[in-house]
Amino acid sequence: MQDKKKHVTRRLFLRRTAALAAAPYIVPATVFGRDGKAPPSERIIMGGIGIGNRGSHDLNWMLPERDVQFVAICDARKQRREAVKQIVDRRYGNKDCAMYSDIREFLAKRTDIDGVLIATGDRWHATAAVLAMRAGKDVYSEKPSSMTVAEGRAVVETARRNRRIYQTGTQRLSEGNFTFCNEMLRTGRLGEVHTVRAHIAPWDAAEMRHDWLPAEPMPPKEEVDWDEWLGPCPWRPYNSAYTRGGWRGFYDFHTSCIGEWGAHTFAQCQVGIGAADTSAIEYKYVPNKTGDGMETLFANGIKMVLQLGGWRGSCGVKYEGPEGWVAAADGYSQPDVSNPAMLGDFKKLVGDYMARTQRPMSHMRNLLDCIKSRRQTVANPVVMHRSMTTVHAANICMWLKRDLRFDPVKEKFVNDPQADRFLSRAMREPWII
Supply the pLDDT for residue 121: 95
pLDDT tens-digit map of 176-233: 999 999 999 999 999 999 999 999 999 999 999 999 999 999 999 999 999 999 999 9
Express each pLDDT in 284-325 by its tens digit. 999 999 999 999 999 999 999 999 999 999 999 999 999 999
Q: Is the peptide bond before 144 cis (omega within 30 degrees of 0)?
A: yes
DSSP per-residue letters across 237-277: ---HHIIIIITTTBTTT--HHHHHHHHHHHHHHHHHTT-TT
pLDDT for residue 367: 98
Question: How many CA atoms are closer than 13 Å to the CA of 408, on its beta-carbon side?
Answer: 21
Residue 1 has pLDDT above 60, yes or no: no
Question: Between 17 and 79, where is the model more confident?
Answer: 79
Q: What pLDDT is attached to residue 32?
A: 43
Angle (CA) 389 393 394, round 5°: 115
25 CB-contact burial (10 Å; exposed 0-12 / middle 13-18 / buried 19+): exposed
**Section 14-18 average pLDDT:** 44
- 122 - beta bridge partners? none
Computed over every residue of the chain, the mean pLDDT equals: 93
In the predicted structure, residue 25 carries a pLDDT above the cut 60:
no
Average confidence (pLDDT) over 255-266: 98
Q: Residue 289 CA to chain centroid, in angstroms?
A: 26
pLDDT in the model for residue 39? 75
Give the C-alpha separation, 226 to 190, whole Å: 52
pTM of the model as a whole: 0.91
CATH architecture of 10-171: 3-Layer(aba) Sandwich (3.40)
Among 212, 340, 186, residue whose Cα is nearest residue 268? 186
How confident is the model over 6-28, as a mean pLDDT? 44
Q: Where are the domains of the chain?
A: 10-171, 172-206+254-361+382-423
Q: Would the pLDDT of 2 be above 90?
A: no
On whether the CB atoms of residues 109 and 4 are closer than 8 A, the answer is no
- In angstroms, the CA 395 to CA 255 distance is 8
How many whole angstroms separate alpha carbon 190 and alpha carbon 326? 8
Average pLDDT of 50-58? 93
What CATH architecture applies to the domain 172-206+254-361+382-423? Answer: 2-Layer Sandwich (3.30)
The secondary structure of 276-309 as a DSSP string is: TTS--SEEE--SSSS-TT-EEE-TTS-EEEEES-
Average of per-residue pLDDT across 394-404: 98
Biggest CA–CA distance in the chain, Å, is 77
Q: Using DSSP, how many helices (H) and how many strands (E) does the chain show?
A: 14, 15
> Which residue would you say has higher pLDDT here, 22 or 252?
252
Length of the chain: 433
Q: Residue 36 has what pLDDT?
A: 62
pLDDT at 57 over 70: yes
253 or 2: which carries more pLDDT confidence? 253
Query: What confidence tier does 409 reach under pLDDT thresholds 50, 70, 90?
Result: very high
Q: Indicate whether 17 pLDDT > 90.
A: no
196 beta partners: 304, 319
